[in-house]
Amino acid sequence: MYDVVIVGGGPAGATLARLIGKSRKVLVIERRNMYRASEKEDYQKCCGGLIAPDAQKMLAEFGLGIPQHILDGPQLFTVRTIDKKSNLERYYQRHYINVDRERFDRWLFSLIPSQVDVECEAIFKGLEHTNNGVEITYVKDGRKRKAATKLLVGADGASSKVRRILSPDYPMPRQYIAIQEYYRMDGEMPYYSSIFDKDITDFYSWTIPKDGVLILGAALHPEDDPVGKFVELKKRLRDRGFDFGPCIKRNGAYVSRPRKVGEILHGDGNIALIGEAAGWISPSSAEGLSYCFRSALALSDAIEMDLNTSVAGYRKNTGKLRMNIRWKNIKAFLMYNDTIRFLIMKSGVLSMGSIKSKLAESGIL
């Protein structure tokens, strides 16, 4: 009997295992092989690999520094914001840490204490409630296996199977499919692009440079011809001067967007949800790493206080995080309202007015 079984070894699950792994009997089940680079496209997280300031702050609070081999170039300090409807562009100062996301995930996973049992390339299949907790079923090496636990934690992302089994009728955050393509790129592009175009999506699209490669991505409605919308996005950006070389890779994944706090599901009884499985992700930017870290920390504190009441304790510990989701929804309204965004961008407030001419002089634009 385990104290805690964690389904999902991404940033949320790996962080929770690291925080409680020395004081509790823990099992982590992860569908990827986290000890080597993935070879299957569908195992790769659809994420540009930019660590935003909120996530940087959490890494600092954990006392963690990112190893050199995880970093990708260039390090970015500028966001190029493109508003298709008004045909406006602005540049804003931001500081992201540019990393290889897969190596970043494997590094976090490597920090799990040796006392924790780990099953990689294992697929979670289902659960049953028992008198003492929960019994889960998973498949490893083609064989069905079982594990009993006092507390089950779903850290299995936006399409969380644990969440669907736990509460199939609970309101879900809006689901998008994030599509990304990777292109060979000559020259330099020292900025991250954020593109607003309601003909493509009511969320946003992006470009991110990485060591001779340019990533183009978009969060799209699954039911609204996402492939066709992505092709149209690429055409529109080419018309704006973006030079996409040969496509060398593409991937996709579901992304959540909570429209209200009531779509966040902490868990119930002896099952808890953290990270995007619970709905913790920014509705304004889809930044999720800081929420993975903060929700894992909130649950770990509740577990250390009392394993038997950990779900209730976890909910209590996330009061500030729920307030953060409320604020990010207000921010999202301001960002995605055409009139408000036009007025802000037209005013040039907080923008870097001279950078466009400097980039043009250097041949980047």
* Averaged pLDDT, 251-275: 96
CA terminus-to-terminus distance, the chain: 60
Say if residues 219 and 255 touch (Cβ distance below 8 Å): yes
Say if residues 113 and 18 touch (Cβ distance below 8 Å): yes
Contact partners, residue 316, CB within 8 Å, separation at least 6: 302
66 domain residue, yes or no? yes
Q: What is the pLDDT of residues 277-290, one digit of tens each?
A: 999 999 999 999 99
78 domain residue, yes or no? yes
* Averaged pLDDT, 21-28: 98
Distance of CA 233 to the CA centre of its chain: 22
Q: What is the pLDDT of residues 107-141, one digit of tens each?
A: 999 999 999 999 999 999 999 999 999 999 999 99
* Averaged pLDDT, 69-75: 92
The better pLDDT of the pair 345, 186 is held by 345
Q: What is the pLDDT of residues 158-214, one digit of tens each?
A: 999 999 999 999 999 999 999 999 999 887 788 999 999 999 999 999 999 998 899
Statement: residue 63 has pLDDT above 80: yes
CATH number of the domain residue 198 falls in: 3.50.50.60
138 domain residue, yes or no? yes
Domain span including residue 25: 2-35+42-347
115 domain residue, yes or no? yes
What is the per-residue pLDDT for 341?
Answer: 96
* Averaged pLDDT, 43-48: 59
Angstrom distance (rounded) from CA 237 to CA 277: 33
* Averaged pLDDT, 273-278: 98
Statement: residue 38 has pLDDT above 70: no
Statement: residue 357 has pLDDT above 60: no
362 domain residue, yes or no? no
What is the per-residue pLDDT for 223?
Answer: 95
Statement: residue 12 has pLDDT above 80: yes
* Averaged pLDDT, 66-89: 94
149: closest CA among 275, 7, 323? 7
* Averaged pLDDT, 38-66: 80
* Averaged pLDDT, 31-52: 72
The better pLDDT of the pair 359, 160 is held by 160
% of the chain exceeding 70 in pLDDT: 93
Domain total of the chain = 1
* Averaged pLDDT, 12-24: 98
* Averaged pLDDT, 22-30: 98
353 domain residue, yes or no? no
Statement: residue 39 has pLDDT above 70: no
* Averaged pLDDT, 295-320: 98
Strands 213-220 and 205-210 turn out to be: antiparallel
What is the per-residue pLDDT for 43?
Answer: 45
360 domain residue, yes or no? no
Mean pLDDT taken over the chain: 93
